[in-house]
Structure 1
């Protein structure tokens, strides 16, 4: 069974983080919410979420690592050496590293997006000096997946699922995503 770790620090964006958890769970993928410092983490909009574990679990055995956006969550993750080390280890092992919204600033600091095509929340591309910014909802360049922001959360989650080798079409249909795409 595939395993995905979503990393949390205070100030994360709820929709970006929990959409991944929801979609992975619907696809029977083990998705672990990892608190970097504590088991109860507060979002950027003051919603408290209880984590599955702290960062001391062996996350390196997972298949994908997800960095949600939100402020100051993304900067808290960027400034955490353990997160940078995990991102580098996953990237070096060619495992999926996914970041959304402001989250790609973590990938920039980890040095894993040099000359990679990425997207992010508008304005943060100025901080992604080694990458090639793409003005799109979601972008995958090799093992790196990036998303633009909260509205991209489902597309971002489905992209991760597909990168894990799991067809997301039934999940998309069950969540009415196809209807959404056809009617916006």
Structure 2
């Protein structure tokens, strides 16, 4: 099975990141958290420090692996400014590999032109920073290889969608029931 790489940057929304990572791991997805900051310690937007599994420079993403970008205004600024990550996102998109982003992070994808002609969502105040085919207020949207989510309130649903896509609908339902999701 392919891996899911979550890219961490100072200023990220901690719960958006960790909820998706947690749900993905519960669903049997091998997840690695990757710091783009040049150090493993990443401090989020609410002063919670997370220890990443590895540094960007130590990471080898293979074809078929999934990339995930958490939101958070300052975190997204850091993600946007990282040239190596931009190149990786473009290469992965060209191969048709799955890429997910939540809250403000779809702006990274939109800014690279990856959402052209696609339906996407984001935090509503970032709508103008997410050039895409159709922007929607849906909580989680999958269009082709791209999955976007509106914000923190949908982080668990984004994780469940990635389990559905990468493992199976049945496993996503099993995780949903185990965590007492309100839709069960």
TM-score range, shorter chain: over 0.9
1:16 — aligned with what?
16
Decide which of 164, 167, 180 is 2:166's aligned counterpart: 164
1:77-116 correspondence runs (5 A): 77-116=79-118
What is the CA deviation profile of residues 78-113 of structure 1, one whole-angstrom value per residue up to 9, with x for unaligned ones?
111111111111111111100000000110122110
| Gapped regions of structure 1 (runs ≥ 5) | none
Superposition TM-score, scaled by structure 1 size: 0.93
| Gapped regions of structure 2 (runs ≥ 5) | none
Whether the aligned pair in 2 keeps the contact of 1:96 and 1:163 (CA below 8 Å) is no
1:1-184 correspondence runs (5 A): 1-37=1-37, 38-56=39-57, 57-61=59-63, 63-167=65-169, 168-177=172-181, 180-181=182-183
What is the RMSD computed on CA atoms of the aligned residues?
A: 1.3
Whether the aligned pair in 1 keeps the contact of 2:119 and 2:132 (CA below 8 Å) is no
Superposition TM-score, scaled by structure 2 size: 0.93
CA shift, 1:166, in A, is 2.3
CA shift, 1:61, in A, is 4.5
What is the CA deviation profile of residues 33-89 of structure 1, one whole-angstrom value per residue up to 9, with x for unaligned ones?
000121000000000000000012102445210000012001110111111111111
Whether the aligned pair in 2 keeps the contact of 1:13 and 1:68 (CA below 8 Å) is yes
Quote the Cα distance in structure 2 between the aligned partners of 1:24 and 1:148: 18
SS of corresponding position for 2:147: strand
Quote the Cα distance in structure 1 between the aligned partners of 2:13 and 2:115: 22
Q: How many residue pairs end up in the alignment?
A: 180
Quote the Cα distance in structure 2 between the aligned partners of 1:131 and 1:6: 25
Deviates most, 83-92 or 99-108? 83-92
What is the CA deviation profile of residues 13-34 of structure 1, one whole-angstrom value per residue up to 9, with x for unaligned ones?
1111001110111122110000
CA shift, 1:131, in A, is 3.4
